[in-house]
Amino acid sequence: MAGKGKLIGIGVGPGDTELLTLKAAKVLKTVPVVFSPKSSKEKESIALSIVRPVLEERKDYKRLMLVEPIFPMIEDKKELEKIWNSAAEMIAQYLDSGRDVAFITLGDTSIFSTYSYVQKRLMGRYEIETIPGITSFTACAAARNKALVEQNDILTIVPKIDDRLEQVLEYSDSVVLMKASRNTSELEETIEAKNRPKEIYSVQNCTRENEKIIEGFSNEKPYLTTTIIKFEDD
Ligand SMILES: C[S@@+](CC[C@H](N)C(=O)[O-])C[C@H]1O[C@@H](n2cnc3c(N)ncnc32)[C@H](O)[C@@H]1O
């Protein structure tokens, strides 16, 4: 790996630039290439909007290489494979030229992040460092000023409900529903009807300027919406 650049995956936290770690900010102040995937041509990535103030302070900002490939939000596995392969090869070209690349990702790097697909493809070929970030659901619990789990509680993180719902509701003490914009009203009714005392709240755009905490499920569901169900039986 001598002479090659290093891939640095950076979790940039849930939204507030002040929640970037010192380590992430340190890398972002000097790294020559920042890789920031976005879901469509028109929209800036949320991760980039979080780190932009740090990048803009750089004296060499104009020379910084900001690469913004499109990673569309699709579920077709074959198409996704192609997109991740080509993203990994694009990064490999920068690394082969001896430049370090920072791959920025919302929240934490290990929680439903596109970074993980690129990380897997480049593992063993290049040096890789992963800098964790504050994940959205712990930020949501902080916004509510309440612990997610205590003592022997079991926390379950759910990206999309399937036929395991009954088991999830039976055996978890707290449930985090990420990607809440996919929740259907049937799902919400099933959870509400579960015969266990519980607190349900949703947080939209946590730690961002337009943060909103809603009791129960939220009718409006912007992309950055997380719902937390905390069972309160003794
Ligand atoms: C693709 S996942 C990325 C998760 C991210 N890696 C993390 O650690 O939070 C996107 C989902 O994370 C949740 N999310 C991320 N940032 C959020 C925020 N600021 N407020 C509320 N939910 C957020 C939402 O449920 C959203 O649909």
Assign residue 175 the CATH number of its domain: 3.30.950.10
49 part of a folded domain: yes
Shared domain check, 74 and 162: no
CA of 60 to the centre of ligand 1 (A): 31
165 part of a folded domain: yes
The pLDDT value given to residue 118: 96
Among 97, 131, 165, identify where a domain stops. 131
93 contact partners, CB below 8 Å, separation of at least 6: none
Q: Is the CB of 45 under 6 A from ligand 1?
A: no
CA of 225 to the centre of ligand 1 (A): 7
Atom of ligand 1 at shortest distance to CA of 177?
25
Shared domain check, 123 and 10: yes
Among 68, 102, 131, identify where a domain stops. 131
Shared domain check, 89 and 45: yes
Give 10-residue mean pLDDT values along the chain (234 residues).
94 98 98 94 92 97 93 86 94 98 98 96 97 98 97 94 90 94 85 94 97 94 94 86
DSSP state letters, 47-63: HHHHHHHHHHT-TTGGG
Q: Is the CB of 223 under 6 A from ligand 1?
A: yes
Give yes or no for a contact between 201 and 144, defined as CB atoms under 8 angstroms apart.
Answer: yes
223 contact partners, CB below 8 Å, separation of at least 6: 181
CA of 96 to the centre of ligand 1 (A): 32
The pLDDT value given to residue 177: 95
List of E strands, the chain: 6-11, 33-35, 65-67, 101-105, 127-131, 155-158, 174-177, 198-204, 212-215, 225-231
Shared domain check, 40 and 97: yes
Q: What is the CATH number of the domain that holds 17?
A: 3.40.1010.10
Which alpha helices (H) appear in 69-114, and where do they start and end?
A: 77-96
At CA 203, angle to CA 158 and CA 173, rounded to 5?
Answer: 45
The pLDDT value given to residue 75: 84
- Specify whether the backbone of 46 is left (phi greater than 0), alpha (psi in -120 to 50) or beta: alpha
Shared domain check, 50 and 79: yes
Domain that residue 148 falls in: 136-231
CA of 10 to the centre of ligand 1 (A): 15
Q: Is the CB of 15 under 6 A from ligand 1?
A: yes
Shared domain check, 145 and 222: yes
1 part of a folded domain: no
Q: Is the CB of 14 under 6 A from ligand 1?
A: yes
The pLDDT value given to residue 114: 92
Shared domain check, 194 and 127: no
Shared domain check, 103 and 55: yes
44 part of a folded domain: yes
Atom of ligand 1 at shortest distance to CA of 203?
21
Look at the chain and report how many structural domains it folds into.
2
Among 83, 115, 131, identify where a domain stops. 131
45 part of a folded domain: yes
Q: Is the CB of 9 under 6 A from ligand 1?
A: no
CA distance 29 to 102: 11
Atom of ligand 1 at shortest distance to CA of 135?
8
CA distance 174 to 91: 38
CA distance 29 to 56: 9
At CA 111, angle to CA 218 and CA 209, rounded to 5?
Answer: 45
The pLDDT value given to residue 197: 95
**Dihedral, 229, 230, 232, 234 alpha carbons, nearest 10:** 130
